[in-house]
Amino acid sequence: LTTEQFWDTARRHLIRYNRAGFVPAIIERANGAHLYDETGRSIIDFTSGQMSSLLGHSHPAIVEAVSESIATLDHLFSGMLSQPVVGLAAALARTLPAPLTRTMILSTGGESNEAAIKMAKLYTGKHEIVAFDQSYHGSTHASGAATYCLSRSGYGPVAPGNLIIPTPNSYRSAFRKDGEHDWQAELDFGFAMVDRQSVGSLAAFIAEPILSTGGIIEPPDGYFAALRKKCDERGMLLIIDEAQTGLCRTGDWYAFQRDGIVPDILTLSKTLGAGLPVSAVVTNDEVEATCSDRHFMFTTTHVSDPLAAAVGLTVVRTLEEGQFDVTARRLGEQLRRGLLDLQARHDRIGDVRGRGLLQGIELVMDRETKEPADDYGTQVTAACFELGLHLNIAQLPGVNSILRLAPPLTITEEDLDAGLAILDQALTIALD
């Protein structure tokens, strides 16, 4: 198809599934941290695909794993096991703190959260699920019901029993006074609301350790330990969703490790497949045994898929062999230095936050009032794309001014600096 025919055909035959619309380029090839459009132009990928291509595009180890698996063992009956499935379960147990030793392999993030929520309900015999008001856990029914930023309009009735607490957002928190963020009061307030609204059936709290889609929000030190305590006091399970943060991206194997807690259920997705649809639910013996006794049933066409598991296993091994947690910390420091330098020169950068290779900048009209600079954010990302850098804005209602920077862990220092230089130019160009 010519470029004109391509867009004409797309307009006539595709379902438009996202509010932001499609990026106006035809990407023909992707390799490492680079995308190449129909004109051969190179674009640095600061979104790692959909935050998923952790090792860069078409990493040789992944290409080999897929080629070998598709040629020898592609797909099986859902109740059949294979070496890659058991191998991935053991590999994840090796990288995780005890007692997170039991794994189930699925395809997508929403699906892994559906399974985790069902397990929590079965284990506790209760049904209410609590989440942060800015978290994102998926677009499927139960994961979407725990995702308050997704519009409910037109999709009712939504799964009942979903409650929220305020995201501990120190940048704009109402609990921030004189530069101090009283997160304990914010958490107590949230749980006072939960206790008042609950019908006495609290099953689980589901949380991202760093909220990504909601605007790169990192709850303060000590917060998750206090949240864990609130869950324990109420007999609720804690589900941690590391779709984006898991597997070295933030500088630790798992972001929750920084918080000194261990969840009852962990979900992994995006980064586990490094660009392919692979997800996992991990839990402990006790939750697994109780669910199994109660006839836990969550089969999908691709549960325990050998191809997906072979990819996941390759990702874990590649990260282990390359010590990518160290790499993410090193590149994360370079990224942070670059972003702080930009903040020193561009008044519209109100805040810089995040960890490792998951960082964000919040654009404001005025650093004192923190008024969001929504249109400016859109203009900056458009200018970046023109200049050869793809990054994106947190797409949620009310947070259109946060730029997310999450390049692959295999990006070179030169490409990271080149991306930052483009962002620098774009921040100036977009002012005109």
* Window contacting ligand PMP (CB under 6 A); options: 20-28, 104-112, 162-170, 350-358: 104-112
In the complex with ligand PMP, which residue's Cβ is closer, 116 or 420? 116
CA proximity to 165, closest of 144, 142, 140, 134: 134
390 binds ligand PMP (CB under 6 A): no
Question: In the set 46, 123, 132, 136, which binds ligand PMP (CB under 6 A)?
Answer: 136
3-state secondary structure of 403: strand
- Quickly count: other Cβ atoms within 10 Å of residue 21's Cβ: 7
* Beta-strand relationship, 128-132 and 202-207: parallel
Give 354's DSSP letter: E
Q: Is 110 in the site for ligand PMP (CB under 6 A)?
A: yes
Applying CB under 6 A, which of residues 32, 49, 84, 109 lies at the interface with ligand PMP? 109
Which of residues 48, 53, 103, 108 is near ligand PMP by CB under 6 A?
108
Q: Which of 244, 250, 314, 359 binds ligand PMP (CB under 6 A)?
A: 244
**What helix, strand, coil percent values describe the chain, rounded to 5?**
40, 20, 40
Binding of residue 212 to ligand PMP (CB under 6 A) = yes
Nearest-5° angle of CA 423, CA 429, CA 431? 110
Nearer to ligand PMP, 114 or 415 (CB): 114
Shortest distance in whole angstroms from residue 389 CB to ligand PMP: 21
CA distance 147 to 164: 9
275 binds ligand PMP per the rule CB under 6 A: no
CA torsion angle 373 218 335 41 (round to 10): -60
Number of residues lying near ligand PMP (CB under 6 A): 14
The whole-angstrom separation of Cα 151 and Cα 148 is 7
312 contacts ligand PMP (rule: CB under 6 A): no
Please, what is the minimum distance in Å from the beta carbon of residue 213 to ligand PMP? Answer: 5
Tell the smallest beta-carbon distance from residue 159 to ligand PMP (Å): 16
84 or 144, CB closer to ligand PMP?
Answer: 144
Closest CB 134 distance from ligand PMP, rounded Å: 11
The reply on whether position 137 binds ligand PMP by CB under 6 A is yes
DSSP state of 397: T
Tokens 């977009």 belong to which residue? 430
Q: By CB under 6 A, which span of 81-89, 125-133, 195-203, 239-247 interacts with ligand PMP? A: 239-247
Closest contact distance (angstroms) between CB of 277 and ligand PMP is 7
Given a contact cutoff of 8 angstroms between Cβ atoms, the answer to whether 157 and 172 are in contact is no
How far is residue 329's CA from residue 91's CA, in Å, rounded to a whole number?
Answer: 22
- How far CA 129 is from CA of 143, 161, 236, 416, 428, in Å, comes to 10, 6, 9, 39, 44
CB neighbours of residue 323 within 10 Å: 10
User: Both tokens of residue 205?
Assistant: 């709290």
Cα angle 356, 358, 359; round to 5: 95
Residue among 89 and 394 whose Cβ is closer to ligand PMP: 394
- 213 lies in the binding site for ligand PMP (CB under 6 A): yes
Considering beta carbons, is residue 119 or 422 the nearer one to ligand PMP?
119
208 near ligand PMP, judged by CB under 6 A: yes
Q: Is 392 in the site for ligand PMP (CB under 6 A)?
A: no
The amino acid at 245: T
Stretches 134-142, 186-194, 196-204, 399-407: which one binds ligand PMP (CB under 6 A)? 134-142
Residues in contact with ligand PMP by CB under 6 A are 108-110, 113, 136-138, 208, 212-213, 241, 243-244, 269
